[in-house]
């Protein structure tokens, strides 16, 4: 890495302020006008240099979170692991982080890093939580140690994410040779990949996501470290892994992500029982529908059609759950009970690793349960099927299965036409005057007199 940063002046790079969110510019200029350093950092700089539209804009500064809060009335401080300032605007949140130190401050002799309290607690005051907390395995649990712009850049995960745009002179600042890796299309960790992935195992998933989304290759040492440390991915918290899985597979490159995760060995640790099922055949046929379903979801995302988390999970794991459901039905269990049992089994397998929220799990179950009803056309009360909350997603699931397997086209056509032509009755009839008709009064029985004593 460079001891001195490479400064790319404004004429030598393509980023213009017209490409930056007006709200982000407001934050940058207010920090600058109050004497603070203010940079655009991270993925937004990378995407702007690649000619892509950033999803959000992040700011780094030497102002502490409390100093940022004093500058912005619309500021909220969030986070325990990393203390951040969120500047709230009507349609956007600008995240502002204070420059972080590369390594924690040296503790006094005889005190472990994990026990160093934050300065500022006087006598008789309750001590603040430690600013730098590390697990026994070396994973960073909390880190509020502030540092310099150079330290902040070098503690980021990958070189292409360590570039900064300086609002003071509109230059790009490169401490980690990120511009070179950007030109070459390489994902490379900053520093020893074994150390960086141990500090935060989720970085392995980020490497896969960036590789798939940007079309970059993962540098050899980084890739080998991922393969070696793949089992460590389960050390991340289950709710965080759920959020990361959504980012991975709803990125528009879900099928490519799926292939990379399997090649890296990460998939079998994220979904152990499901991964083992994928590796074996059913009735002499390999399980190839997952990749094809993800391709279909990628086409939807690429065409601007939203894919909800329940629909994504149904597309990924539907064949697995349906196979188990069929076994239970064959054993004599009613279809609704079989679907419930199969879903409960899948959720039980995943709960220790990936925490799927209950509302999402219930929606996935509903999508799969409706499939059994869709096969009966018209069946009893077809309009009641349309009224079910997950009907649109269930129909999308059927549409995907038809595209993947080539089966069920007649059923799909019938329900699509029926959904277009049917008019659902209003929940409550409304009178001509715009008011609901008066409710019928309930006849009250005559009150009986208590029997004479």
Q: 11-51: per-residue pLDDT in tens?
A: 999 999 999 999 999 999 999 999 999 999 999 999 999 99
Phi, psi of 287 (to 5 degrees): -90, 90
Mean pLDDT, residues 300-310 taken together: 95
- pLDDT at 102 exceeding the cut of 90: no
Distance of alpha carbon 116 from its chain centroid, rounded?
Answer: 32
pLDDT for the residue 121: 39
Look at 60-69, 78-87, 224-233 and tell me which has the smallest mean pLDDT.
78-87
Look at 25-29, 240-244, 276-280, 410-414 and tell me which has the smallest mean pLDDT.
276-280
pLDDT for the residue 136: 56
pLDDT for the residue 268: 95
Please, which residues bridge with residue 105 across strands? none
Phi, psi of 282 (to 5 degrees): -120, 120
- pLDDT at 277 exceeding the cut of 80: yes
- pLDDT at 127 exceeding the cut of 80: no
Q: Are 136 and 157 in contact (CB under 8 A)?
A: no
pLDDT for the residue 114: 37
Measured CA to CA, the distance from residue 57 to residue 54 in angstroms comes to 7
Q: Which ranges constitute the DSSP H helices of 155-308?
A: 178-184, 193-199, 202-214, 220-229, 238-249, 254-264, 267-270, 272-279, 289-302
- pLDDT at 428 exceeding the cut of 70: no
Using one digit for the tens of pLDDT, what is the confidence trace for 430-445? Answer: 344 444 445 555 555 5
Please, which residues bridge with residue 61 across strands? 38, 98
- pLDDT at 115 exceeding the cut of 50: no
Q: Residue 330 carries which DSSP code?
A: H
- In the numeric block, the tokens 């086409």 are attached to 299
* Tokens read off for 285: 């046929």
| pLDDT band (50, 70, 90) for residue 106 | very low
- pLDDT at 360 exceeding the cut of 80: yes
Q: Residue 128: which residues within 8 A CB-CB, separation 6 or more? A: 117, 118, 120, 121
Q: Residue 378: which residues within 8 A CB-CB, separation 6 or more? A: 414, 418
Q: Return mean pLDDT, the chain.
A: 86
Q: Are 186 and 219 in contact (CB under 8 A)?
A: yes
Pick the residue with more confidence: 109 or 128? 128
Mean pLDDT, residues 302-323 taken together: 95
Pick the residue with more confidence: 223 or 79? 223
pLDDT for the residue 118: 40
- pLDDT at 372 exceeding the cut of 80: yes
Mean pLDDT, residues 122-142 taken together: 50
pLDDT for the residue 422: 78
Please, which residues bridge with residue 361 across strands? none
- Percent of the chain past pLDDT 70, that is, above it, reads 82
CA angle (115, 120, 122) in 5-degree steps = 95
| pLDDT band (50, 70, 90) for residue 279 | confident
pLDDT for the residue 434: 45
Give the global pTM: 0.82
Phi, psi of 30 (to 5 degrees): -65, -40
- pLDDT at 158 exceeding the cut of 80: yes
Q: Are 419 and 386 in contact (CB under 8 A)?
A: yes
| pLDDT band (50, 70, 90) for residue 62 | very high
Residues, the chain, total?
Answer: 453
Mean pLDDT, residues 306-333 taken together: 95
Write out the catalytic residue numbers. Answer: 56, 58, 157
Mean pLDDT, residues 393-416 taken together: 94
- pLDDT at 134 exceeding the cut of 70: no
- pLDDT at 78 exceeding the cut of 90: yes
Q: Which of 423, 373, 371, 369 is nearest to 396 (CA)?
A: 371
Q: Residue 266 carries which DSSP code?
A: -
* Tokens read off for 303: 């065409």
- Percent of the chain past pLDDT 90, that is, above it, reads 75
pLDDT for the residue 440: 54
Q: Which ranges constitute the DSSP H helices of 42-172?
A: 43-49, 65-71, 149-154
- pLDDT at 212 exceeding the cut of 80: yes
């Amino acid at each position: 890495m460079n001891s001195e940063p490479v400064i790319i002046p404004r004429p030598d790079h393509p980023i213009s302020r017209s490409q930056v969110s007006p709200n982000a510019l407001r934050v940058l200029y207010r920090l600058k006008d109050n004497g603070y350093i203010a940079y655009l950092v991270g993925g937004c700089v990378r995407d702007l240099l690649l000619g892509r539209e950033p999803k959000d804009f992040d700011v780094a500064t030497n102002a502490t979170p409390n100093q940022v809060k004093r500058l912005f009335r619309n500021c909220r401080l969030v986070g325990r692991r990393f203390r951040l300032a969120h500047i709230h605007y009507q349609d956007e949140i600008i995240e502002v982080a204070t420059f972080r130190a590369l390594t924690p401050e040296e503790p006094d002799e005889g005190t472990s890093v994990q026990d160093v309290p934050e300065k500022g607690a006087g006598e008789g005051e309750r001590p603040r939580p430690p600013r730098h907390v590390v697990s026994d395995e070396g994973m960073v649990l909390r880190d509020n140690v502030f540092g310099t712009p150079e330290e902040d850049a070098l503690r980021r995960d990958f070189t292409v994410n360590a570039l900064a745009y300086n609002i003071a002179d509109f230059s790009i600042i490169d401490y980690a040779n990120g511009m070179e890796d950007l030109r070459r299309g390489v994902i490379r960790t900053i520093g020893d990949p074994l150390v960086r992935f141990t500090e935060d195992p989720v970085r392995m998933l980020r490497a896969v996501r960036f590789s798939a989304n940007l079309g970059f290759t993962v540098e050899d040492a980084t890739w080998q470290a991922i393969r070696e440390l793949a089992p460590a991915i389960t050390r991340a918290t289950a709710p965080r892994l759920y959020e990361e899985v959504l980012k991975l597979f709803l990125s528009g490159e879900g099928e490519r992500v799926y292939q990379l995760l399997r090649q890296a060995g990460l998939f079998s640790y994220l979904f152990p029982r499901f991964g083992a099922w994928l590796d074996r055949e059913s009735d002499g046929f390999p399980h190839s529908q997952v990749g094809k379903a993800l391709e279909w979801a990628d086409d939807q995302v690429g065409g601007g059609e939203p894919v909800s988390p329940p629909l994504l999970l149904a597309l990924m794991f539907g064949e697995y759950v349906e196979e188990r459901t069929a076994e239970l039905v064959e054993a004599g269990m009613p279809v609704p009970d079989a679907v419930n049992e199969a879903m409960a089994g899948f959720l039980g397998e995943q709960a220790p690793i990936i925490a799927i929220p209950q509302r999402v799990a219930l929606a996935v179950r509903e999508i799969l349960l409706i499939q059994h009803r869709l096969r009966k056309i018209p069946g009893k009360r077809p309009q009641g099927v349309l009224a079910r909350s997950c009907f649109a997603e269930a129909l999308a699931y059927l549409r995907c299965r038809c595209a993947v397997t080539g089966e069920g086209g007649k059923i799909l056509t019938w329900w699509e036409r029926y959904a277009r032509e049917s008019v659902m009755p209003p929940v409550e009839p409304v009178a001509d005057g715009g008011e609901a008709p008066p409710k019928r009064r309930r006849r009250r029985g005559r009150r009986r007199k208590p029997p004479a004593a």
